[in-house]
Structures are given as structure tokens and as C-alpha cells.
Amino acid sequence: MMLRVAKYPTFSSSGITGKIFSSSLFLCTMASFPGLGKLIGSVKKRTLETFEQIYQPLQREHEKYQEPVQQSEKILSESHSEDLEKAKISQNCPERNAKQVAERLGMAQEEIRRLTDELKRKEKEQSKLDSALEKAQLEIKKLKENLTKLQENDSVDLQKAKEHNQRLDEEILALRNRVRSLDSEKKVLGEVVEKLKGEIHESQENKQLGNHSPGKTVDTKQREWRS
């Protein structure tokens, strides 16, 4: 930052003093003239007073103008120092920025590598899961096929069992009928046996009584069988 410094008029005290003392020297050369001693003293006094009257305001004015100049120089010096510091900082900033960018880039690359490794691991796990899922699907398919076959076989077996049960029922019914028939035949045979026993017993009694007739006995048996 550059500041413009106003140029103020300056006064040289040595020039003014020289002129005043030149006038005094001129007056002193006139001291040889009679009656001029008091005049010279008076002039000298007035000259000093005039000098003070002229010089002091000018000095104050000069100091007045010099103070802003000094302040401006101080401001310029401070501003220049600040500019140098800023320039130094600005020169260091790219280096720091480059370093920070490099660090961030390294961190980003490290994160990318980590994520890449994680992705590869996930892909391997996914591949294993896909293989296991495929095997499970094939196993489920086989189980469904076996279940269908079992259901079909069960249906056939059930039909066979029904037919077998039906045959068994028919055989049981036939056996029951045969048993009833045998019971009837047994009953008839029992009755025949009882009749034969009775006839034998009767014939034995008749024989004992002496009234037994072979022809009559034969005719009686034939009639019983016919009946």
C-alpha cells in the first residue's frame, strides 16, 4: 500500500539568519560614525526581536508541517513492513497450500486404497454367497423333484394299498361266507351224526331185545337218507 505525502513548503533558517547578520554587520561597519552606537544597539535589539518574531512562527509552522510528514513516513514504513510481511506470507501460503494439498491427496489415496481393498473383500464374500446360493437353489430343486416323486409314489402306493385292502375285504367276506357255510354243514353233519348215533343206539337195543330185523333196519336207513 503506497501513500502519497503532501509536499509542504520548507524554510531555511540559515538563509534568514545570514541575511539578518549581514545587515547587522553592515550596521557595525557604520559604528565609526558618531551617534550611531545607540542606533546600532537599538537596531540590533529590534533585529533580534524581528528574528524571533519571524523565526519562531516559521519554526512552529515548519514543525507543524514536519509532524504529518513524519507520521506519513512512519505510516509508510509500517505499511511497507506490513506489505513485506504479507508478501512473505503470500509466498509461504502456496508452499503451505501445496503441502496441505499433498497431505490431503495422500490421505485421499490411502482412503481409496482402503476402500478398494474393502470392495475386493466384499466382492469375494459376494462370490462365495452367490455360489452357496446357487448350490442351495439346486438342492431345493432336487428336494422338490424328490418330493414330487414321493407324492406320486405315495399316490401309487395308496392306490395299491386301497386295492389290496379291497381284495382283503373280499377275501375276508368270502372266508366269512365259507365259515357260515361250514357252520351250516357242520350243523347238518352234527344232526346226521346224532341221528346215526340214535339209530345205532336203537339198533343195539333192538338187537339186545331179539327183535332186530336186518331187512327192516336197512329199509329204515334208506328212508331216512332219502328224507
For 5-30, the pLDDT digits (tens) are 344 344 444 454 455 445 555 555 55
Q: What is the value of pTM for the model shown?
A: 0.30
Which has the higher per-residue pLDDT, 210 or 174?
174
pLDDT at 74 over 60: yes
Mean pLDDT over each residue of the chain, to the nearest integer = 71
Handedness of CA 18, 19, 24, 29 (dihedral sign): positive
Segment 137-144 mean pLDDT? 87
CA nearest 5: which of 55, 56, 61, 79? 79
Q: pLDDT tens digits, residue range 97-132?
A: 778 878 888 888 888 888 888 888 888 888 888 888
Segment 180-203 mean pLDDT? 83
pLDDT at 57 over 50: yes
Q: How confident is the model at residue 62 (pLDDT cuts 50, 70, 90)?
A: low
Q: How confident is the model at residue 1 (pLDDT cuts 50, 70, 90)?
A: very low
pLDDT at 134 over 60: yes
Segment 168-173 mean pLDDT? 88
Segment 32-49 mean pLDDT? 62
- Contact between 11 and 51 under an 8 Å Cβ cutoff? The reply is no
Written as one string, the DSSP assignment of 50-86 is: HHHHHHHHHHHHHHHHHHHHHHHHHHHHHHHHHHHHH
Handedness of CA 112, 115, 117, 119 (dihedral sign): negative
pLDDT at 152 over 70: yes
Which has the higher per-residue pLDDT, 27 or 167?
167
Report percent pLDDT > 70 for the chain. Answer: 51
